Chains A and B, each alone.
Chain A
């Protein structure tokens, strides 16, 4: 188990290096350059050249990459072009709100997605099943910004129950996290339903029922556990997607998260921040994948880590 963990963490290093290299190259292949983007429409050539020099962008690309890597190994991600702040600080202050939003959304996804999925699967083709599957289709197809605005109009403008936007207490979290979670809940519900239905048809469930196990035991202990592995996989993937895909929700709800930071940084060609954020998200992905793999073992003891 421990050696497995160590091995996985070691394997993560080349993955992250690869990500670093790809992001580093991609931002530099994009048309437009940070010195000009920062200097703006009013700048003169002289000014742009000064900015370029200040930012170290006048150096050859391989030297820039070497410097970036050198800094990385010392835990230094460089400084933002736009704000002059250390990237690590910039990314971290924006990462916390995103993590907050994403965790709550994940919780909602797990709670409602799996719950609805189970009820639908145990009563296939019932009214509940039809209604919930209809809404999950709607939830999957609804554009996030539209849903966000509609929820905002209903719950803050019409009813006045919840704050419309911004970060604050728990009340501020409700609308954005529901908005962000909507499509994930829908997806997980559909997925849980179909997987569970499949399992419920298996012979060992028939056996369980035949030997007189209560229905709840048959569903929760025998069936759900076996259906859980694909569900955990999809939830893990969704968590990554929530984390990196929160940008629209963050924009609509004025949430100071990392998604908005990335978009702003791309428009400003703020290379260090783009690199830093993508790296951070990549680290999260690697971590989530690891957790998912470990969960497999917890769910199904037949899975061994060697």
Chain B
């Protein structure tokens, strides 16, 4: 009897192994993440966790692949008019929303009109004047000025398309709680603070998902997420602490997945205040800090040394030579600039916001001490920090501050314009260091209105080069996200937007 069951088990095992690469249909996939979505209304969401859940349910017109290239989704193709003032989108045919409403140009118009009233509209749609449904499957966006980044902006979840019926039936002032989209999964249930559950959309227009359902479980503690993964209660987790990654990787049945993130971490100078007005001082600080060591030792390899103000996968990125770690050169430059040894300044930084942020600030402090600069570290709680850094130039009291910028549109415009253009000085925009350089301003403006992708790339390459030589920041690194998953799950997509996507995943 025992033998027979053993034979049976072995036979099953063998056939399972033989079938290993054939996706299996069924099962519930469970993914643990740290933060509950604040909303599931495309027009209200602000965070990556919310975006991740929504991506499965409501699709956008265009999408961004894992390699961060724009690809068709609900729009099959698109083109600009001759004068670059009209974007024409050709929509996919035969698509239905989860409630059976057909997807067409009118549905797109209703969604985009709704979005234009939302608070975020000006961020992504600053130049859109009118939206026209030309025929059943063609939409035209009319702009008042050419705005090339709009292609990338249309991939953002803010403009995910939901059923026009749902929008029409939504009471005034209420937000969408159970989105009805066209995506591969349908919304099932959301228990706030606990989980969101989605089920397979059997009428999906594209390749149908393999799993029956997917659950996004909210588990705030990093350690607990790992325990859940190790005990098999979840299949994948996000945000593994860098120092735990090697241990997880060594655990049988688990694997660690590293994905480049789109967030750049930097230290900015108070550009309008001596001695940071002197390019030699800014360069000296770039030479003084060993970025390689920070990424390797403090981040445990969960990042890359910046070679531009934006990370390599972003459209418009051209890498420069990182400033090598050279304290000798730093001291020389500081001497030339007349900075006395023991020069005192302040470095503000957040804690717990970015990966190892406080530890990195301490490391920078130690490196600066090596070249004779005494940086006083001032730690602030996040909300207070944000308020502190949004002051007009005459009230700004910092010398340096550490911050991260996620280039969420994945286009250089958003990674550079708000941070370096003179018109974006705080408190109006996000140029909190009051950087100002006419050459950079001109290039960034040009990048916005040039539709040809190759020409744009060349413009951003030039802008990045100028910023780099001008040592616009103390360039640090871009973050990698570390996720982990069970080897029983195949086909999960770990996306640079800090998403785990279940579209093609299956459980062994």
Chain A residues contacting B403 (CB-CB under 8 Å) are: 41
Chain B residues contacting A157 (CB-CB under 8 Å) are: 227, 230-231
Interface string of B197-228 (1 = CB under 8 A from A): 00000000000000000000111110110011
* Interface window among B82-90, B139-147, B188-196: B188-196
Known interface pairs A37-B383, A46-B428; A256-B218 also in contact (CB < 8 Å): yes
A300 to chain B, nearest CB (A): 42
A40 to chain B, nearest CB (A): 6
B259 to chain A, nearest CB (A): 21
Of the candidates B217, B384, B406, the one whose C-beta lies within 8 Å of that of A31 is: B384
Of the candidates B38, B228, B406, B429, the one whose C-beta lies within 8 Å of that of A45 is: B429
CB-CB contacts below 8 Å: B84-120 with A: 119-120
Q: Once bound together, how far apart are the Cα atoms of A37 and B220, in whole Å?
A: 19
Contact status B383-A32, CB under 8 Å: yes
Q: Once bound together, how far apart are the Cα atoms of A42 and B384, in whole Å?
A: 15
The answer, yes or no, to whether B382 is at the interface (CB within 8 Å) is yes
Contact status B227-A152, CB under 8 Å: yes
Chain B residues contacting A269 (CB-CB under 8 Å) are: 383
A161 to chain B, nearest CB (A): 11
The answer, yes or no, to whether B430 is at the interface (CB within 8 Å) is yes
Contact status A252-B221, CB under 8 Å: yes
Contact status B223-A166, CB under 8 Å: no
Contact status A38-B46, CB under 8 Å: yes
Closest to A83 in B: B38
The answer, yes or no, to whether A245 is at the interface (CB within 8 Å) is no
Closest to B174 in A: A84
The answer, yes or no, to whether A222 is at the interface (CB within 8 Å) is no
Of the candidates B36, B119, B122, the one whose C-beta lies within 8 Å of that of A51 is: B119
CB-CB contacts below 8 Å: A165-201 with B: 165-167
Contact status A256-B194, CB under 8 Å: yes
Which of B36, B193, B381, B430 neighbours the largest number of chain A CB atoms within 10 Å of its CB?
Answer: B193
Contact status A32-B227, CB under 8 Å: no
Of the candidates B230, B390, B418, the one whose C-beta lies within 8 Å of that of A36 is: B390
Contact status A267-B382, CB under 8 Å: yes
Interface string of A243-287 (1 = CB under 8 A from B): 000000001111011001100100111000000000000000000
Closest to A248 in B: B221
The answer, yes or no, to whether A234 is at the interface (CB within 8 Å) is no
Contact status B386-A47, CB under 8 Å: no
Chain A residues contacting B430 (CB-CB under 8 Å) are: 41-44
The answer, yes or no, to whether B404 is at the interface (CB within 8 Å) is yes
Contact status B219-A166, CB under 8 Å: yes
Interface string of B116-130 (1 = CB under 8 A from A): 000110110000000
Interface string of A146-168 (1 = CB under 8 A from B): 00010011001100100111110
The answer, yes or no, to whether B318 is at the interface (CB within 8 Å) is no
The answer, yes or no, to whether B405 is at the interface (CB within 8 Å) is yes
Of the candidates A50, A256, A267, the one whose C-beta lies within 8 Å of that of B193 is: A256
Closest to A90 in B: B192
A56 to chain B, nearest CB (A): 13
CB-CB contacts below 8 Å: B380-436 with A: 381-388, 390, 403-406, 408, 418, 424, 426-430
The answer, yes or no, to whether B11 is at the interface (CB within 8 Å) is no
Of the candidates B119, B227, B382, B404, the one whose C-beta lies within 8 Å of that of A165 is: B227
* 14 contacts across the A-B interface (CB closer than 8 A): A32-B387, A33-B387, A36-B383, A36-B390, A38-B46, A44-B429, A45-B427, A82-B38, A84-B175, A94-B192, A149-B227, A157-B231, A160-B231, A267-B382
A contact set with B: CB distance below 8 Å: 30-34, 36-38, 40-48, 50-51, 54, 82-84, 90, 93-94, 145, 149, 152-153, 156-157, 160, 163-167, 251-254, 256-257, 260-261, 264, 267-269
Closest 6 CB pairs of A and B: A32-B383, A256-B193, A31-B384, A32-B384, A254-B219, A37-B383
